[in-house]
Amino acid sequence: MSKSKTQSTSRSYRRVAAAVDAVCAVAADSDATTLDEVVAAVSLERQREIEITSAQLGPGVCGQRRFYPERDIIVLADALPSRDHTLAHELGHIVFDHEGAPAVETTLEVSDDLIAYMLSQRAHAQIVEDGSDDLAEWEAETFAAMLMTRLRVFNNRGAGVSVLRFDEALG
């Protein structure tokens, strides 16, 4: 029996919290207080453009990270219940440098057979067995939740950057 990648690479709240701390430090250095400003600050820090755009995505798909040699693009579905959460989730994929699908593969014309295959139990079972997608999604989702909480807290407590610096000092 093959060993799942999630068994050898376990979920770590500390790893995610450290990533959120690092992103918040970059945000503080750039006086970024909104999520869009945080994304821009991360882009500047990485010296790699992160473009945010919207498009009509497939059923059940809220966002995608598209990787190109010179930049990343975060594509958000046209109608989202929570734009910021989805944006934070996709930023998490970038911060953790999750593999994902190359942009060429995500933009190919989709046939009915491909949709049926992607939704089949066999495809789902392969993802679960592989484990890497599960871990990547967990990390991105946990990152989004933690980052959104931090942003809400410091935006509700007054001047965002000073609160970030105060939180940073407290650890």
Give pLDDT tens digits for 4-48: 333 336 899 999 999 999 999 999 899 898 999 999 999 999 999
Mean pLDDT in residue range 135-149 = 95
β-pair partners for 123: none
Rounded Cα gap, residues 143 and 80, in angstroms: 19
Residue in 40, 43, 33, 19 with CA at minimum distance from that of residue 152: 33
pLDDT band per the 50, 70, 90 thresholds, residue 124: very low
pLDDT at 6: 35
pTM above 0.85, yes or no: no
What is the C-alpha separation between 124 and 146, in angstroms, rounded? 27
Kindly report, residue by residue over 58-104, the tens digit of the pLDDT.
Answer: 888 899 999 999 999 999 998 888 899 999 999 999 999 998 655 55
Task: Tell me how long the chain is.
Answer: 171
The token pair at 86 is: 């989805």
Question: Distance (Å, rounded) from C-alpha 23 to C-alpha 60?
Answer: 28
Q: Which residue has better confidence, 165 or 57?
A: 57
> Predicted confidence band at 164 (pLDDT cuts at 50, 70, 90)?
low
Overall average pLDDT of the 127-150 stretch: 83
